[in-house]
């Protein structure tokens, strides 16, 4: 069962003091069913909640976190996209590349070759984002 309350959205002070760590701990304990539900339902949550999710993803070092973070980067609202980009910039390049779906990763490698850095990967991911993300961002602007 997916419970969005694992992300603390009370106050900004509490979030940066303790809330983000508590949310990371809760995420660490997610089972496969909860991950599936999170991936299916994150877009239904408020932008602030999505932004906080982007802030904590990647801390536990799992591939599905990186993959979901890329989804937030590509499909989220502008502020969520910016937080996801900042989170990616705190990771190693190979982890950022691995966050792309395998078909996208192959296309990107063919286009960019060895000229990779995190900003190039994020730029490519933005330029090749699924069409729905472009429509969502325009609708929210």
The tens digit of pLDDT for each residue in 94-134 reads: 999 999 998 898 899 898 887 789 999 999 999 988 755 44
Per-residue pLDDT tens for 22-57?
A: 999 999 999 999 999 999 999 999 999 999 999 999
For residues 18 and 16, what is the distance between their CA atoms, to the nearest angstrom? 6
The label of the residue with tokens 């002070």 reads: 13
Q: Band the pLDDT of 60: cuts 50, 70, 90.
A: confident
| H or E element that contains 73 | helix 63-75
Helix axes 102-112, 118-127, angle to 10 degrees: 110
- State the pLDDT confidence band at 136, using cuts at 50, 70 and 90: very low
Q: Is 58 left (phi over 0), alpha (psi -120 to 50) or beta?
A: left
Segments making up each domain of the chain, as ranges: 11-140
């Amino acid at each position: 069962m997916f419970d969005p309350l694992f992300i603390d959205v009370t106050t900004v002070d509490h979030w940066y003091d303790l809330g983000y760590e508590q949310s990371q701990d809760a995420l660490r304990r997610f089972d496969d069913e909860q991950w599936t539900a999170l991936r299916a339902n994150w877009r239904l949550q408020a932008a602030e909640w999505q932004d906080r999710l982007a802030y904590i993803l990647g801390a536990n070092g799992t591939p599905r976190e990186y993959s979901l973070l890329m989804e937030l980067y590509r499909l989220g609202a502008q502020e969520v996209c910016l937080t996801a980009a900042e989170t990616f910039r705190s990771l190693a390049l190979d982890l950022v590349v691995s966050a792309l779906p395998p078909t996208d990763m192959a296309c990107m490698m063919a286009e960019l070759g060895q000229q990779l850095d995190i900003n190039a990967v994020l730029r490519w991911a933005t330029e090749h984002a699924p069409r729905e993300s472009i429509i969502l961002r325009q609708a929210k602007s």
